[in-house]
Each structure stands twice: as structure tokens, then as C-alpha cells.
Amino acid sequence: MEVRRRVLRPAPAGEPLKPKQDPNSQQQQQPQQSYLTNAVFFGLFFSVAYFLLHRWREKIRTSTPLHVVTLSEMAAIVSLIASVVYLMAFFGITFILHPFLNSRSSPDDDIDLDIPKLPVPTPCPAALPPKLPPPPLPHHDEDIVLAVVSGSIPSYSLESRLGDSHRAASIRREAVERITGRSIQGLPVEGFDYDSILGQCCEMPIGFVQIPVGVAGPLLLDGKEYTVPMATTEGCLVASTNRGCKAIHVSGGASSMLLRDAMTRAPVVRFNSAKRASQLKFYLEDPLNFDSLAVVFNKSSRFARLQDIKAAIAGKNLYIRFSCTTGDAMGMNMVSKGVQNVLTFLQSDFPDMDVIGISGNFCSDKKAAAVNWIEGRGKSVVCEAVIKEEVVKKVLKTSVEALVELNMLKNLTGSAMAGALGGFNAHASNIVSAVYLATGQDPAQNVESSHCITMMEAVNDGKDLHISVTMPSIEVGTVGGGTQLASQSACLNLLGVKGASKESPGANSRLLATIVAGSVLAGELSLMSAIAAGQLVNSHMKYNRSSKDITKIAS
């Protein structure tokens, strides 16, 4: 066994020999120095970080530019950087100091060794926690299906482990049939781009549902013609909307007005007392504080712009409704990020605030709620048209007087008798749902997007019909979600609202909202005319009945 030796150099003549130092004493001094250095840098890091955060908050409140720094702030920034570099090196993140570490010489560089260095011992493998890799996937699809059925391979991991979304869907589909014992032969799996939905639209797919898409139009709205795509399985819906578009077109077209554009999110926070909750309510609704809160909120996105804050109190719980524009996106995620920024900012002045949930249903999303009917959510639109008397008679097969009376007794009085909430219309949700499915919108938001009141009135000495629809909460977007899928993107392109508007951010989504309202106007006009003329049952019996033997198809 070779022994490592240090070659001693003789001391120069006349120089006394120094006493040999005890290595144990050096090892005891080094930890003490290390602890002291660590304490200094830790204290420096937290103190300057607190100082800079405090100064940053004061600048936001006083509208001072963040890039304007004083000498004390410059010194604090330099100290923060130095402490970060030291702490990163201390915790083993030495890539920053890598050039300096390589340039430093080791203690043994000036020592002549006659024998090679011993290898550095590695940790015992038994001391490290075992990392078991996932079992390798079988090569054949049949073996993978059996593994999914047995539970040894999770179904949700197929995409990531196979690296082939289409193959994963096919294998999962076969596994579902074997587990349930039921056939899904009518559900197609071929001909769909599963990579386009991975991680954003649908998890664990086994196929896709086919919904036929029809077109209604041209819809003459604000001087332009639009061919409206509608995805539906209901007979007569597209044909009826198309008839309404024709009546509007030959009467000179419809006009629309965007009343408001503001998506909402309302977190719920709790305090120890109602008094403290009231103090935050007064703080949020004070106009003097709005600019500071808007700066914090708007950092979440270059398109998010805070418009309004309203708070409602229930005991010691506070519901805060934030409203903001979101560009061409529907914007729920964008608003949520902005709300989170504001809540973090408020924690400094209200440390006793307990955030119960980022959404407290005061928003209110995907639920029929009076707050959306009154305050609006998303895009608030009113659309109107004047239908000439001869068009009412020849195209709609009814009269102005019959339509006005039916609208009053059905859409207004009848809905009031039913206690309707935003449902003062004939079938607005029919058109909203069909357009939403065709253009990749969230179909669940049909609930509040279908809030609509239809008004009809005889004008021009009782000869012509004035019809309008007012829809306070149309929630649409032209980017994100299902709008980027191929079929839905094609329908948006048909309307001329695909993607984000480069000239005016938000213009495409606002235009889509007005097209939805115009389509609803056409659908309301046609259906109400069919009911007034007694054509509803006959048309559905003709167009909404299948002559096929369903029992044979099912078998």
C-alpha cells in the first residue's frame, strides 16, 4: 500500500524553524469563521431585500418611476447582488463563480509528489434514496393495453411516455372498451390532431364528437355582411336564423353598440371582525387608491387593464369584484393573475387578511346570477333593426301587431311569471351555443352569455317593427382555449375575427360579440314570427324529425 508523503523543504539559513501548527486547531477556527461570514451575508441579504421592497411599494403609491434610484438604493442593490452571489456559492450553486474557481490553484500545486493522488471517495449508494425508474413500456400496443387495463400503467401517462398523442388515444380507447365492456365504435378516433389539444383543451382523449356546422346569412350588421357558422344538432335552428338574417338584410341591416368590455373575477377574503372587513372595503372603493391598485393589477399582462373594483360584505367576509379588459382573449386566467397580484400587495397593509379563494362566485362565472344581468360581464352589447311591414308579411309570414303582442305576453310577462333571471327572450341560448361551439368558445359560459331581453315595438305609424336584443354578458375570445383548434379557427376566419387584432388589441373579440348579438337578433325575429304564425310545430315536424330506423342503427 502506497503512502502519500509531503516533501519537506529546508528552511533558509538563519531563519528559525516555526513550530508546527496543530491541524485540529485550524479545523476548529475555519467553521467559526464560516458561521460568522454566513450570518453576515444572511443578515445583509434580508435587510437590503426588505429595504428595497419597502422603497418599491412607496414609489408605487407616490407614482414615482421605479428606474429612478437614490445612492442608498444603489448601495442596497449592490449589496443584494453580492449577498446573492455568496449565498449561491455557499449552497453549491457555483456556476457563477466557475471561472474564478478554475483559476485558483490547489494547496498541493507547489508540492512535488512522487506517487499519484488517491481517488476521492464517493458516497455509499446505500445511503442515497433509491430512485426507481418507471418500468419500460412494452413494444406492442396489445401489451400496453393489457398493462393499462391491469393498472400497472396509468392511462393519463400514455402521451408523455409514448411521445405519440394519436397512438395514446387509440390505446386508451381500446382499454376503455375492455374495462367497461361496452363498445364505442361510433366514436371516431382517426382524422383528428391530438397534439393540438395536449395540455390545453382535453385530457385522456379517446376520440372526438362530430357536430355538423351550418351557416346562416349573410347577416348585414353595421354595414358589413357576415356568414355565421353554427354548430348544432337541432333541426330548424340554422334555417330559422337564416330566415331572420334575410329579413334583416332586405330591411337595411342591423346596427350594434358595444356598451362595456370587462371580464370579472371576485375573490373572497376573511378577517377576524366585520370592522376590519369594512375597512378593506372602504380602502378598495376609495378613488384615491385606485391608481396604485391598477398599477399592481396591470403588471399581470400587457393587455389587462383594471377598470373597476366593487366589494360586497357578508359579516366578516369580503367579496371583491375586479373588472378589467383582456384584449382579444376571453381573459379568465389573465384576470386571475392580476387579482393575485393585488391580493399580495394588500397583505402588507392588511396582514390579518385571510384569502379563502381566488373565486368567491361573486364574479359570477358559468352561473345565472343577477350581478351579471345588472353589472355585465365580458362584452355588453345592444343590437337593433327596423323590419319593414312588407318584409314581416312576405318573409316572416305574420304581422307587426301579432309580433309585438306575442313578445309582450311571452318574452316579458311570461318570463316574469316564471321568475326568469336574464331570460326575457325566445331562444337566445340556441344561437349563442351554436356559435360558441363553432368558434371554440367555452360552451359552459353559454349560461350567462345567453342573458338577453328582446324588445319589439311598432314604429313609423305602426307599420314597421323595431326589434332589439340587449345582452349584458357575452363572454367570447378569439385567442386561447379552443379557438386555436383547426376547425374552430376556420370558423373564426370565416367571420374575419381569427386570432388577435394587430391594429387594435381586443377589436376581434369585440366584433365577435356583436356578431353573436346580431345572430341572436335574427334568431329571435324568426322564431317569434313562426310562433305568431302558428308555424312552429309544422316546421319542427318537417325538419327536426328523422325518418331513419334508430333501432337498426343502434344495433
C-alpha cell at 204: 385522456
Q: Which residues contact 555 (CB under 8 A, 6 or more apart)?
A: none
Residue 366 is a catalytic residue = yes
Catalytic residue among 59, 166, 366, 397: 366
Q: Which residues contact 61 (CB under 8 A, 6 or more apart)?
A: 292
Give strand pairing partners of 214.
230
Give strand pairing partners of 309.
322
What span, in angstroms and rounded, lies between the C-alpha atoms of 378 and 325? 8
Residue type, 524: E
Give strand pairing partners of 470.
382, 453
Instruction: Give the SS3 label for residue 155.
Output: helix
Residue 422 · residue 372 · CB < 8 Å = yes
Establish how many alpha carbons lie within 13 A of residue 221's alpha carbon, considering only the half-sphere containing its beta carbon. 27
Residue 442 is a catalytic residue = yes
What span, in angstroms and rounded, lies between the C-alpha atoms of 155 and 47? 50
Backbone torsions φ then ψ of 444, nearest 5 degrees: -65, -25
Could you check whether the bond before residue 351 is cis, i.e. omega within 30 degrees of 0? Answer: no
Catalytic residue among 59, 299, 337, 540: 540
Which has the closest alpha carbon to 544: 410, 414, 430?
430
Residue type, 245: C
What span, in angstroms and rounded, lies between the C-alpha atoms of 63 and 67? 12
Catalytic residue among 73, 164, 234, 389: 234
Residue 472 · residue 327 · CB < 8 Å = no
What span, in angstroms and rounded, lies between the C-alpha atoms of 422 and 369? 8
Residue 59 · residue 65 · CB < 8 Å = yes
Catalytic residue among 177, 285, 308, 442: 442
Residue 540 is a catalytic residue = yes
User: 152-157: which pairs have CB atoms within 8 A and are 24 or more residues apart?
Assistant: 155/204, 156/203, 156/204
Which has the closest alpha carbon to 336: 284, 265, 261, 268?
265
Which burial class, exposed, middle or buried, applies to 171 when counting CB atoms under 10 A from its CB (0-12, 13-18, 19+)? buried
Residue 482 · residue 435 · CB < 8 Å = no
Residue 426 · residue 410 · CB < 8 Å = yes
C-alpha cell at 472: 349584458
Residue 465 · residue 387 · CB < 8 Å = yes
C-alpha cell at 153: 400503467
What span, in angstroms and rounded, lies between the C-alpha atoms of 341 and 432? 33
- Return the exposure string of 308-330: e unless at least 16 CB atoms fall within 10 Å of the residue's CB, then b: ebbbeeeebbbbbbbbbbbbbbb
What span, in angstroms and rounded, lies between the C-alpha atoms of 519 and 522? 5
For residue 405, count other CB atoms closer than 10 A to its CB.
13
Give strand pairing partners of 265.
322
Could you give the residue numbers annotated as active site? 234, 366, 442, 540
